[in-house]
Amino acid sequence: GDYLDAAGRETSEGYTIATSPSGITIAGASPLGVWWGTRTILQQGVLSLASSGVPSVPYGSGVDVPGWSARGMMLDAARHYYPPDFVTELCAYMSFFKQNMLHLHLSDNLWHNPNYTREQSLSLYARFRLWSDDAAVAGLNLHANESYDRATFDSIQSTCASRGVTVFPEIEAPGHALVISQWRPQLGFDGDMSLLNISHPDTLPTMKAIWGTFLPWFHTKTVSIGADEYTGPEHEYNTFVNDMNSFIGAESGKAIHNSTWVNVHQNVSIQHWEYFEDNPYYDYILNNYSVMNSNDDFYIVNKWAAPGGYLNTINLTKTFHGAPDHGYWRPYMFDQHNATDNPPVSSPYVLGSIVPLWNDYGYNATVYSEAYYAWREGIPALADKQWGGNLSDSAFPGLFSTLHSSIPAQNLDRSIPSQSDTIFNYTLAGLDSSAPDSITDASPNGYTAHTDCTVVEDSSTTAALSLSDGCSVVTPLDSKGRNYTLTLSLRVDALTNPTNATLLTGRDSVLMLTPNITLLAGGNYFRLNATVPQGTWFDLALIGRGNRTFAAVNGGEEMQFLTKMGINGVYFHWAEMAIEAPLKKLGGMNSGWEGLFKGMTLTSKA
């Protein structure tokens, strides 16, 4: 009974810290509780190092207990794929602030315009992100290169769990289910193929076949069936939820989360999204249903929203002043304005809080890291309040700034340690005669590059590397995030593959000539209406400035990389892109071009 949550229940996540001249002792209700204690020690050490020059923890003891068992975020990985390493780095980031749940939204479609023809519906972007070669789901997922197979999903779950974060999987149906009705069109609801026709005799068997295939993949004790925004008959919806609950329970022993509506089994927990759909206190909690608070106060629609729509970053004001009395927000506060709509803080039916990021505008609206930047400050601010903490808005910026660079097991900012604004500077004067394959970094950082290319002299007797026959220049770095200027000094003599020539590759992006100057990032091509000269020397600068990316040739006009977003099948919107600089390799096999290289510089100025 030492560790009790806000409802007075024992929790396995509480811990005690005791410090004395003999050392630091962390005791917890479970290994997870001890893990959270180590996060506190790390944070305290970083803060004390910044303030006093010595990492220390004061003598004494204390007990820390989370108020709610579910504290986390939801990532829409259905309408925008995220690679496994991004997901696991995100878990590491969340873990440092003691969030414990990453909800992965694994199937969905872009908004289904009711004016679409059947052909348009069948071709609308819709994805199912789990890949299996099981015959029961053959044809459901046609995009294995942007999916998670079982080994990959196992690794994601295990890596996140090793840092205290549970991956909470969701397969969405019977609404937002266009990917299923594209697979089996006969299951689509008449008039809206994004809904399943529950009354069709094959709908429930199909959903059971899908869940039967993937339930063994999931490590968590609870899964989400989505079941959001279904506008078909209510009685059929209730039948669907109850049948799926019985099936999943019998098949795996797992419980389910569900979205909205009533008259479903009492052991089904509800995820509340918006008040125009339901009132979580009066509809569910007073009827003894457990509820997850995902109210849209903290919704993010990634990249863009119409005026008056959802924000693109977490609303920190609502975090620190989101209570009806303008005090700290807590997970039991579903309504930030009317206290009578909220249960008591001690309600055992409040599971906690999961805050969603939606990719309503699809795969080309953002690169992977833009999801992180949408949450960068929001995760620590929310995590404090989801736990039950009292960090003030005035104290937050300084603490976050101090802690951020020390968050372990991730580098989502793609930062690079540097002793000056110049991160590296490669010139051919840096070629080491004793090691002809090495290019010395002229900056203080010593990021030596290596090459297997031949040194030649051009017509002006300037030394250069000949980029041909598959040779390359390789750096010890791979990617640079906001802010940067990367400058290449090149002469392109031939484009052997004029629509697919690769200048420079990195972890997050590729600089190309197609023949236009192009960045490939997040699986999408972003092209400028400009080319580089051939047969003559030029400097190509790539500039990342905040959430925008530019290129310039020979110090000329900066040209911005933009994306063309489709908005709900009605109109297009051009938006900025924040693309990391590719740093790993210049040239290489099948690069599609030949020419000369004279130098490359990277600075943190933009």
Q: What is the mean pLDDT of each run of 10 residues along the chain (606 residues)?
A: 92 97 96 98 98 96 98 98 98 98 98 95 98 98 98 98 98 98 97 97 98 98 95 93 96 85 85 95 96 97 91 96 98 98 98 98 97 98 98 98 98 98 92 80 97 83 87 98 98 97 98 98 98 97 98 98 96 97 98 97 97
Q: Spell out a b/e string for 567-580, using b for 16 or more CB atoms within 10 Å of the CB, else e.
A: beeeeeeebbbbbb
Burial class of residue 418 in the structure, from the number of CB atoms within 10 Å of its CB (0-12 exposed, 13-18 middle, 19+ buried): middle
Name residues whose C-beta falls within 8 Å of residue 454's C-beta, 6 or more positions apart in sequence: 465, 466, 471
> What one-character DSSP code corresponds to residue 340?
G
CA-closest candidate to residue 393, choices 338, 334, 323:
323
436 backbone dihedrals φ, ψ, rounded to 5°:
-65, -10
389 backbone dihedrals φ, ψ, rounded to 5°:
-80, 170
Rounded to whole angstroms, the Cα distance separating 493 from 345 reads: 70
H helix runs in 221-298, sequence order: 234-252
So what's the pLDDT on residue 549? 98
Answer for the pair 52, 40: CB distance below 8 angstroms, yes or no: no
So what's the pLDDT on residue 462? 74
Answer for the pair 381, 314: CB distance below 8 angstroms, yes or no: yes
So what's the pLDDT on residue 463? 84
Cis bond leading into 287, ω under 30°? no
Helix (H) or strand (E) holding 55: none
Task: Give how far the C-alpha of residue 40 lies from the chain's centroid of Cα atoms, to the nearest Å.
Answer: 24
Question: Tokens for 60?
Answer: 């004494």
Name residues whose C-beta falls within 8 Å of residue 205's C-beta, 6 or more positions apart in sequence: none
So what's the pLDDT on residue 428? 87
The DSSP result for 361-390, as a single string, is T-TTS--THHHHHHHTTHHHHHHHHHHT--
CA distances in angstroms from 204 to 170, 187, 604, listed in the order given: 17, 10, 55
